[in-house]
A and B are shown apart, each in its own frame.
Chain A
């Protein structure tokens, strides 16, 4: 036990040491956001924002304003969907406004890579929703806000290349919960069926480069 105490004291003595170039500290305002992006965010979102696991949204090429709003929403607990509070509330709790802006800049300037293709019928059904909406369900066409290439626009996120699973889950969050307030998506999704969501999400995941 003595040795453990000694080691603990020695380690505490080291506690002031920092390694700003390669730190994973999330409470140090002096750490460059790009360091945090590489050392921490990359674990789930990928070093270039093209996450491998559909559990985690792709951030490459995402709209900077959207990313800033989401990180601020996590930090303030304004955004409270499961993906938000399980993973992001803690990560973002001590980020400064400057670090949030820097992280948003970093991921917005990354190049989005193509994601997994889907079936032709799903592509066709999803494309129709994206381009024409579903008038009888009061669903506006996605491109109206998210852009003709689903590249997003300011606070409206990029959707092209996003994981289907993530999009479907978020559409359900909009439809069924108050976890993501302050967007028109609650109204847009309120009559969508699960199949509609899967189709449009599949189309967006496999968004054609030549669209």
Chain B
């Protein structure tokens, strides 16, 4: 969806406020039930809140987790397995001070625009096979040589499943296989690898040049396990026994050749480090317990990955990543109240090929100052939803890492950043959501103040994010 078509859409949605306001008004006046809903709701005929805690995303209810684990095969096969969703949003950074060209440094800052749309092809195919395929169009994907924004459509989340369930009064065993494009996307708790925001915070608000890029809606560095979405293709096998023990193991490779439909391997800069070499193991263990209106999970996750320093050169030196982490979730679901608390911690150890860091190596490439580095990534989120209509959330995200003066070009030479993100939202009807998030930085790239050496402070990056999400 590029060229004239993109321009037409851009013209149509340039007046997004009008479109969105009218849409919400119309949708709010329509009856909430009896409507054809996005795919899984059509397939089961159930309300979104049956599977999504409080009717919001991405947190799943115990029932929603079973729906996903059994391969999206519950219900009736849809005649037309297609749904669409779209997001209009605005992101505004607290300060553009110090910028001599605000439009270049902070493009689209504070403009409310239609930014993202997805087509979803999901649902039951056979009694054992189901899919979740999301194809996304980003209106502002990148700048071309003429300095204009270019839109792009691409694979977003893909999860093709085969599942079976052996259940009687003595035992319940769900087993399955998933072919997907993101380590952790097959997980049903969505704790260690999912967006903090219920909608893609895809906004082209970036940072002044010379610093780590924005938008400032999540930490500027993450472990590899959280970074491979749409750059990898993997097959995992999983089992969930007696609603208690969950295990998953899989291997991921670069999304290239036969798997290029799963995503796109980032192009060739020396510091991309996202093109996987060979097969890379991912694993996950979780212990689940439900009692009364409560559900709790504590889990472990990990990955070993090796990536090329140059994504287009399969002989380039590599970096090896070892990730392991702990995560958990607590849920209380008793209409009209829904509470979900999530926590995840991931530790990463990075080791580099000699040529990437050793100055005495004749093929020295100067990618790192150290032979190895570490990252520690913490995230947590508490969400409350009332009557599946009104909600509030508080998210926290923190990254800490070892100092490396080449890897991190900021004065502190560390990625250390800390973010709080409160949010309030409203679902006037179950397939429309309006929300406000505020991303508050109390540390950015290792400092509270003057993190870039040019006087920019962490709190200057605070970002107000408004969005309207709708699906059909």
Q: What's the nearest-Cβ distance from chain B to residue A26, in Å?
A: 5
How far, in angstroms, from A180 to B398 measured CA to CA in the complex?
50
B285 within 8 A of A: no
Interface size in chain A (residues, C-beta < 8 A): 45
- A25 surroundings in chain B (CB, below 8 A): 73, 75-77, 124, 127
User: Is A3 in contact with B260, judged by CB distance below 8 angstroms?
Assistant: yes
B27 within 8 A of A: no
- B73 surroundings in chain A (CB, below 8 A): 24-25
Q: Which residue of B lies closest to A17 (CB)?
A: B126
- Would you call the interface of chain A mostly helix, strand, loop, or mixed? helix
User: Is A52 in contact with B335, judged by CB distance below 8 angstroms?
Assistant: no
How far, in angstroms, from A12 to B172 measured CA to CA in the complex?
29
B358 within 8 A of A: no
User: Is B261 in contact with A2, judged by CB distance below 8 angstroms?
Assistant: yes
User: Is A24 in contact with B70, judged by CB distance below 8 angstroms?
Assistant: yes
Stretch from B16-24, B85-93, B268-276, B287-295 forming part of the interface with A: B287-295
User: Is B333 in contact with A55, judged by CB distance below 8 angstroms?
Assistant: yes
User: Is A24 in contact with B259, judged by CB distance below 8 angstroms?
Assistant: no
Which residues in chain B, 149-202, are within 8 Å of chain A measured between CB atoms? 155, 158, 160, 164-169, 172
- B323 surroundings in chain A (CB, below 8 A): none
A209 within 8 A of B: no
Which residues in chain A, 9-61, are within 8 Å of chain B measured between CB atoms? 11-12, 14-20, 22-27, 38-40, 42-44, 47-48, 52-55
A2, A40, A52, A165: the one within 8 Å of B291 (CB):
A52
A116 within 8 A of B: yes
Q: Which residue of A lies closest to B388 (CB)?
A: A86
User: Is B76 in contact with A94, judged by CB distance below 8 angstroms?
Assistant: yes
Q: What's the nearest-Cβ distance from chain B to residue A30, in Å?
A: 11
Q: What's the nearest-Cβ distance from chain A to residue B125, in Å?
A: 4
B45 within 8 A of A: yes
A3, A27, A169: the one within 8 Å of B76 (CB):
A27
Q: Which residue of A lies closest to B75 (CB)?
A: A26
Which residues in chain B, 252-292, are within 8 Å of chain A measured between CB atoms? 258-261, 290-292
If A23-B127, A43-B62, A87-B46 are given as contacts, then 7 extra A-B residue pairs at C-beta distance below 8 Å, sorted by A number, are: A14-B126, A22-B165, A24-B70, A25-B75, A54-B292, A87-B50, A90-B44
**Chain A residues proximal to chain B, CB less than 8 Å:** 1-4, 7-8, 11-12, 14-20, 22-27, 38-40, 42-44, 47-48, 52-55, 82, 85-87, 89-91, 93-94, 116, 165, 169
